[in-house]
């Protein structure tokens, strides 16, 4: 799991690793464990910037052994590229780790041009996720949006169905992130067919409203679960410019955070009549699910083989609401 953070060779721009999350979500423990691992050792100084102080602290011995220097930035107004360059000149680090303050809006994150954002990781106290996601959804969404790894810890006393709902909420915001759930005994594998709100053994599987959104996310993570199965749903036609002839995307808009934060969820669909469907037209699609190499995906992914595409009316609720 912790091989997500790896030492990097020296390059012109200094690599920056951002670990964010709300207070006491496990950021300090994650960083302390990681910088002490052999695979993360480098020659040269690591600059660790702390933007908040939690209950845990870094051992002085660990910092000395790993040539890590700590600087604190307590106010967002002081997190400027000019101030960061002062720290660069002071320490000449080979890399930078930033423990970001979860109450700061990540949209205001800026680093000097001499640095590059190498990786963003989010830690989450699962016992507090529902509170934060309900009351500070916008802040939480900005933390999650571009993270490569999202770690839920302290999952021991949380019902598995609740954890599944957390997973869906996060995947609606960031479809590409790797999600890890941990309890006191280690990582939890909790994805089962029984967690899904639809019967994957139906033929075809009807997917309307939120069911479509849940299927889309699950198919991204577990495409082999659906290969060869038939689905039927209502979607809006989109025609990406980089798609080859004979393909279009029938999908749905989804609200992941608020009305101003929506994304389109849809897979490439192969059809001999793809050119006949105008963009933004609503259609009812019956299709067989494949897993194939597809150029615009940059690798293998879910492809729909349409067996029927018919004009349809816009659904009563055209936007899937993951946020409500």
Work out the pLDDT band at 2, boundaries 50, 70, 90.
very low
What gap in Å lies between CA 176 and CA 147, rounded to an integer? 9
Selection from 281, 283, 282, 287 nearest residue 303 by Cα = 287
Interval 57-110: pLDDT, tens: 899 999 999 999 999 999 999 999 999 999 999 999 999 999 999 999 999 999
Q: Is the pLDDT of residue 322 over 80?
A: no
Please tell me the predicted confidence (pLDDT) of residue 1.
Answer: 43
Interval 176-204: pLDDT, tens: 888 899 988 888 766 567 668 899 999 99
Judge contact between 127 and 152, C-beta under 8 A: no
Burial of 76 (0-12, 13-18, 19+ CB in 10 A): middle
Query: Which domains can be identified in the chain, with CATH numbers?
Result: 2-187 (3.40.50.300), 195-321 (2.40.50.140)
Look up residue 250 and give its two tokens.
């029938």
Q: Considering the chain, what is the average pLDDT of its residues?
A: 89
Selection from 176, 170, 153, 160 nearest residue 214 by Cα = 170
Q: Is the pLDDT of residue 17 over 80?
A: yes
Using CA atoms, how far residue 107 sits from 61, 96, 150, in Å, is: 35, 19, 18
Work out the pLDDT band at 263, boundaries 50, 70, 90.
confident
Judge contact between 189 and 167, C-beta under 8 A: no
Q: Is the pLDDT of residue 234 over 80?
A: yes
Please tell me the predicted confidence (pLDDT) of residue 19.
Answer: 96
């Amino acid at each position: 799991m912790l091989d997500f953070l790896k030492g990097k060779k020296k390059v012109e721009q200094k690599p920056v690793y951002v670990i964010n999350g709300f207070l006491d979500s496990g950021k300090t423990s994650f960083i302390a464990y990681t910088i002490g691992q052999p695979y993360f050792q480098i020659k040269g100084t690591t600059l660790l910037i702390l933007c908040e102080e939690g209950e845990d602290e870094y051992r002085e011995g660990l910092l000395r052994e790993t040539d890590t220097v700590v600087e604190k930035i307590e106010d967002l107004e002081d997190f400027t590229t000019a101030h960061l360059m002062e720290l660069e000149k002071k320490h000449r680090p080979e890399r930078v780790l930033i423990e970001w303050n979860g109450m700061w809006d990540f949209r205001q994150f800026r680093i000097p041009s001499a640095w590059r954002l190498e990786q963003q990781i989010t830690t989450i106290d699962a016992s507090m996720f529902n509170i934060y996601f309900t009351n500070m959804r916008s802040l939480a969404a900005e933390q999650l949006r571009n993270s490569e790894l999202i770690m839920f810890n302290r999952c021991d006393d949380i019902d598995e169905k609740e954890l599944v709902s957390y997973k869906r909420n996060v995947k609606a915001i960031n479809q590409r992130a790797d999600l890890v759930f941990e309890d006191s005994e280690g990582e939890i594998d909790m994805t089962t067919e029984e967690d899904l709100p639809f019967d994957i053994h139906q033929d075809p599987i009807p997917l309307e409203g939120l069911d479509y959104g849940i299927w889309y996310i699950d198919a991204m993570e577990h495409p082999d679960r659906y290969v060869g199965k038939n689905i039927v749903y209502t979607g809006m036609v989109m025609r990406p410019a980089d798609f080859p002839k004979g393909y279009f995307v029938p999908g749905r808009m989804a609200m992941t955070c608020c009305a101003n934060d929506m994304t389109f969820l849809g897979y490439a669909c192969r059809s001999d009549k793809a050119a006949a469907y105008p963009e933004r037209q609503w259609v009812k699609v019956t299709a067989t699910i494949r897993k194939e190499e597809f150029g615009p995906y940059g690798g293998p992914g879910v492809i729909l083989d349409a067996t029927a595409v018919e004009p349809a009316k816009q659904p009563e609720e055209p936007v899937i609401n993951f946020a409500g």
